[in-house]
Structure formats: C-alpha cells, structure tokens
Amino acid sequence: MSAASALSKSASKTVPESTTPTADSSTLPVGQHGIKEHSDGRFGYVPVQTRSARFKSVNVADFEAVTGREAVWKHSPVAKFTDLTAGALDGSRYTVESTPSADVSVEWVPRTDARIGTAGLPEERAAANAWSAFDEALAVTVSGEEAKEITVTRSGLGTIARGAHTIIEAKPFSQATVILHNTGDARLSENVEIILGESANLTVVSLQEWDDSAVHLANHFASVGRDARLKHVVVSLGGSIVRVNPSVRLAGPGSDTLLLGLYFADAGQHLEQQVYVFHDAPRSRSRVNYKGALQGQDARTVWIGDVLIGNKAAGTDSYEQNRNLVLSEGTRADSIPNLEIETGDIVGAGHASATGRFDDEQLFYLQSRGITEEEARRLVVRGFLTEVVQQIGSPELEARLQLAIEAELIGTDDK
C-alpha cells in the first residue's frame, strides 16, 4: 500500500466532515474535458490529510461507541474489550514496586497536577475512558545529570477493568532509563505521558510480559524539548491483546527520538502498535525501527507508522521501518507506514516495510549444515530480533530479553 493512499484513507475517517476544506463542485470550470462529478458521489470531497488534526478529547462521551470500523480500531478485535472502551473503569491506585534510585521519585499525584495533559490528549475512546476514570496519576520524576536506571513493576492488576494514568518527566539536562515492567493478569486501558525538558536524555522501556489472558491498551504521549533525546522501546511478548501506541511530538529544535519495538506473537495473540512521530520543530530527528516475529495459528500483529513533518520542521531527518518474520502458517502481520511532509526543506525522510517468512528452503539450508530444526529456528529469530535488543542500551535488560525470546520459541514449539 502506498503511503499516500493509506493516509488519505485513515485520515478521512477520523475528522468530522464539517471541518474539512471542501471544494464546491458548482464552482468548477465547465466544459473542461473530464471534469464531472464522479459516480461515487464524493467528487469535491477533500479529506483532511494531516495526522495532527485528528479529533482529541479527554472526555469519553465525546467519542462515538467503538464499532471496529474506525481507522484506529479496524485492525483490533474490539469485541473482546468492550469493557475498556464502553464500560466503567476502576481508576483507583494499584500496587507498584520500583527499584530505588537517587534522583528519581515515584509517587501518586492528583488529577490537578500541572503536567497532566501537556504531552498529548486521547484520540480514541479507550484512551479517553481511562483519562476520565483515573483517580490519581503515577508520576515518575527524573532529575540529576548522572545516568541511572529504574524499574517500575506492576504485577497485581487483576481481572477488573482499569483505567490508569502515568507521567514520566525528565527534568532539563537529566538522564535516566525508566523500565515499565508489566506482568500478571490485567484488563487495562491507560495513558502514559512522557515529558522531556531541555537537553534531557531519557529511555523509556514498556515491557509487556503479561499472563496469557491479559488485555492491555496503552497510549504513550511524549513531548521532547529542545536538544532532548528520547529513546522509547516497546517490548510485547506476553498477553492476549496488547496494543501500545506511542505518539511522540518533537517539540523543541534539535530534539531527537529513537523508537524501537520488538514483539513476538504466538498462537492466538494480538500484538499491535500504532506509532506516530510529529516533527514540530526545526532540525529534529527521528528513527523508528519495529521488528516482530509471528508463530502459531492466528498469531496476529499490527504495525502502523505515521510520520508527520510539520511546516515548522525544516532541516529534519526521519526514517521509519518495520520488519516482520513469519515462522509458521496461519499468522497475519499488517504493516502500514504513512509519511506526510509539509515542508520541502528536509535532510531526509524515508520508510520501509517488509514481511518475510522463514521457509522450508531456509530450514533445509541450515539443516544441511548439521544444524537441527529447533536450533535453526532459534538462530533465525534471535538474529532477526537482536538488532533491536542491542539498541536498548541496558545490558541487564538485553540479556533478560534474549532469554525471554528463547522462551517464546520453546513455548510455542509445544503448540
């Protein structure tokens, strides 16, 4: 699918028609060959093409009931989480464990906290539902120029439908890696705001190692200040339905982001990520690299990558790519890159998408060199995903992820 066609399709559905700049067909020059109303009745309708113009609201009532036909939902099994899009959510505190670290505070803050709503606002109903529901927000505040790492673990969310809100703020010139580690069961819709002050250097890892039954819908909104650098990593391994949608606004000149994703879907799993980078300042830079493996009946992944280079964003450099490795029959990987450019003065902008399969001929080749079938699969998957793992920058986490990937391979071999 071409970028342009994908974009116009998705954008046309999310914006109320009344706000669209519509050319009136009655003013068209007459007599020119070929100018006439199209038979589909939509001639003259110009969809709003800009990703940043999507409808936003923190109020769940402002969104229509989710049908599954909306651009943001059409790849998701919406019938399986109506409790999160239409039901009442429990927005109370939950148990959080975090590793102590100097210059990092983890605390609950009231809804009136000034930071809430500064990084982004919901664009769909589950996110607005969570926003309406949360009692207090969990705030992780990073200061101090020394590098440090902190892990925030949630393991006891249980099966009650929840709405949650998290703020991760990196003060100007601060530096840290924040790992959000998700385990256990959950039915969770949440918003995570990530705010980077001037020259901050922050890595945020959202690690989904949920139980097999968990449903997790997350929207991450990041705002990156002048000369700040955000590395954002989504690792989805466990859970029944996991949808983590990072949205990054490069708000300050010289801001920089690297968005990484790694996912391994096995039988029956739905893993989705809708990535959006908005270059809203000059000389900003972005790189997006998501890689996923699929194995087992009805293993399903979705990647949508939107990049918008705004008219203020001269001298930007961006590239996004998604790669999927299909290991067995019965899987489906959707990969939809969209690139929208409002200024001609850019250094670079590109995208790539490829979905390939590990096939019998590759297996034969490796086996003909003495390598067993099991080892051959491991070799290919590890090699494929390692590129992303190695860029995370946390040796301990990288080692753990290598083991987790091995476990995925072995776990699905049994099915």
Partner 1 sequence: MSVLEIKDLHVSVETDQGTKQILRGVNLTINEGEIHAIMGPNGSGKSTLAYTIAGHPKYHVESGSILLDGAEVLTMTVDARARAGLFLAMQYPVEIPGVTVTNFLRTAKTAIEGEAPPIRTWIKDVRQAMTNLRMDKTFAERNVNEGFSGGEKKRNEILQLELLKPKFAVLDETDSGLDVDALKIVSEGVNRAKANTGLGLLLITHYTRILRYIHPDFVHVFVNGKIAEQGGPELADRLEDEGYDRFLVPSNVG
What does the per-residue mask of binding to partner 1 show for 364-403, with x meaning CB under 8 A?
xxxxxxxxxx-x---xxxxxxxxx----------------
For 6, other C-beta atoms within 10 Å of its C-beta total: 17
Query: Considering the complex, what minimum distance in angstroms separates the CB of residue 107 from partner 1?
Result: 42
- The amino acid sitting at 272 is E
| Binding residue count for partner 1, defined by CB under 8 A | 26
Please report how close the Cβ of residue 405 comes to partner 1 at its closest, in angstroms.
12
Comparison of 19 and 372: residue with beta carbon closer to partner 1: 372
Q: What is the chain's percent helix, strand, coil content, to nearest 5?
A: 20, 40, 40
Residue with tokens 């299909």: 326
Least distance in Å: CB of 374 to partner 1? Answer: 10
Retrieve residue 304's tokens: 């949508």
* Least separation in angstroms between CB 327 and partner 1: 12
**Nearer Cβ to partner 1, position 76 or 355?**
355
Among 20, 118, 153, 362, interactor with partner 1 by CB under 8 A: 362
Q: How far apart are CA 84 and CA 322, in angstroms?
A: 28
In contact, 16 and 56? CB cutoff 8 Å: no
CB of 388 to partner 1, least distance (A): 11
Q: Which residues, numbered 39-58, are part of the site for partner 1 (CB under 8 A)?
A: none
| Closer of 68 and 356 to partner 1 (Cβ) | 356
Q: Which of 361, 395, 403, 414 binds partner 1 (CB under 8 A)?
A: 361
| DSSP 8-state class, residue 31 | S
The residues, any chain, with a CB within 8 Å of residue 89's CB and separated by 6 or more, are 129, 130, 132, 133, 161, 162, 163, 189
Among 68, 156, 350, 356, binds partner 1 (CB under 8 A): 356
Q: Which two tokens stand for residue 199?
A: 């020259």
The single residue among 325, 336, 397, 401 that binds partner 1, judged by CB under 8 A, is: 325
Residue 278 to residue 360: CA distance in whole angstroms: 41
- Rounded to whole angstroms, the maximal C-alpha distance in the chain is 75
The vertex-21 CA angle with 13 and 223, nearest 5°, equals: 65
Task: Please say which residue, 92 or 367, places its beta carbon nearer to partner 1.
Answer: 367
Beta carbon of residue 293, minimum distance to partner 1 (angstroms, whole number) = 10
Q: Starting from the edge strand earliest in sequence, which strands make up the sheet with 175-184, in order? A: 97-98, 149-154, 175-184, 201-210, 229-238, 256-265, 285-294, 317-326, 348-357
Q: Is 328 in the site for partner 1 (CB under 8 A)?
A: no
C-alpha to C-alpha distance for 158 and 315, rounded to whole angstroms: 47
Kindly tell me which of 233 and 380 has the beta carbon lying closer to partner 1. 380
CB of 307 to partner 1, least distance (A): 25
Q: Taking CA 213 as the corner, what is the angle to CA 121 and CA 272, rounded to the nearest 5 degrees?
A: 40
- Nearest distance from C-beta of residue 412 to partner 1, angstroms: 17
Minimum gap (Å) between residue 101 Cβ and partner 1: 35
Q: List beta partners, residue 335.
A: 303
Site string for partner 1, 259-298 (x = CB under 8 A): ----------------------------------------
Binding mask 156-195 for partner 1 (x = CB under 8 A): ----------------------------------------
3-state secondary structure of 367: helix
Smallest distance, partner 1 to C-beta of residue 263, A? 15
- Applying CB under 8 A, among 360, 395, 403, 414 the residue interacting with partner 1 is 360
Burial of 87: CB neighbours in 10 Å, binned 0-12, 13-18, 19+: middle
Nearer to partner 1, 43 or 364 (CB): 364
Q: What is the DSSP letter of 95?
A: -
Instruction: List contacts with partner 1 (CB under 8 A).
Output: 325, 356, 358, 360-362, 364-373, 375, 379-387
